[in-house]
Structure 1
Amino acid sequence: MKIFTARLRQTQFEISAANLAQCPPEQGVEIAFAGRSNSGKSSALNTLVDHGGLARTSKTPGRTQLINFFRMDDNCKLVDLPGYGYAKVPEKMKLEWQAHMGEYLEQRQCLAGLILVMDVRHPLKDFDRMMLEWSQHQNMPVHILLSKSDKLKRGPAKNSVLGVRKEIKAYGDQVTAQLFSSHNKEGVEQAREVLANWFGFEKEYETAQ
Structure 2
Amino acid sequence: MEPYPPSLLHEEDADNKEKLRGTHRRKCKRDTILLVRLSNLSFILFCMVLPMYLFCNMPPEFSIQLEQVKGFDDTPASGAGMSISSAFSLTLHDNNRLFTRRCYHNGEALVSYGGFTIATGRVPGFCVPGKGDREVQFLASADGVGLPEHVLDRMALERRIGATQLDVEVKLFRRDDGSDRPMWIWCGLRMDSAQPSNVISCTVLGLQHWFS
**TM tier, smaller:** under 0.3
TM-score by length of 1: 0.22
Rg larger in structure: 2
Structure that is richer in helix per residue: 1
TM-score by length of 2: 0.22
